[in-house]
Amino acid sequence: MVRIRLRRMGAKGQPSYRLVVADGESPRDGRFIEVIGHYNPRTDPPTVDIKEDRALYWLGVGAQPSDPVRRLLQKRGLFERLAALKQGGAAQKKAAAATAEAEPSAQAG
């Protein structure tokens, strides 16, 4: 299973994190597929930089976020946007199917 999770960076006592897409079996700071953002909890307010298009892509293909990443994504409103994209895609498919059904009857007549 592909996971979206935090990878710890920075010196001892000065953590910062990268949001990475990684295989669920790989270790916390091990191999990863792609870096999709950065998170620094030491700034006031904490700095969160996420490539939203890549996060939506990975969520759309079934990547599961860890609990801390899920909270970060919810604060950015990405789950709502993903749901809207899925509903919009379903609505577009229905409209295309209705158009395709209407075209053959119009051509036959």
| 33 and 57 Cβ atoms separated by less than 8 Å | no
pLDDT-based confidence at 100, cuts 50/70/90? Answer: low
CATH 3.40.50.280 fits 2-76, yes or no: no
Q: Where are the domains of the chain?
A: 2-76
CB contact burial 73-107 (16+ within 10 A = b; e otherwise): beeeebeeebeeeeeeeeeeeeeeeeeeeeeeeee
| 41 and 15 Cβ atoms separated by less than 8 Å | yes
Give the mean pLDDT of the chain: 84
Span 16-52, pLDDT tens digits: 999 999 988 888 878 889 999 999 999 999 999 999 8
The maximal CA–CA distance of the chain, rounded, in angstroms, is: 76
What percentage of the chain carries pLDDT values higher than 70?
A: 81
